[in-house]
Amino acid sequence: MKLLVEVKDEKASFVLEVLKNFKFVKTKELTPYKAAVLEGIKEAVEEMKLIKAGKLKSRPVEELINEL
Which range has the worst mean pLDDT, 13-17, 29-33, 63-67? 63-67
Write down the pTM of the prediction.
Answer: 0.62
Stretch 36-42: mean pLDDT, rounded?
Answer: 94
Q: Is 68 helix (H, G, I), strand (E, B) or coil?
A: coil
Q: Rounded to the nearest 10 degrees, how much is the dihedral formed by the CA atoms of 49, 50, 51, 56? A: -170
Rounded (5°) CA angle 42-48-53: 130
Distance, in Å, from the CA atom of 54 to the CA atom of 65, rounded to the nearest integer, reads 23
Which pLDDT belongs to residue 42?
Answer: 94
Report residue 12's pLDDT band, with 50, 70 and 90 as the boundaries.
very high
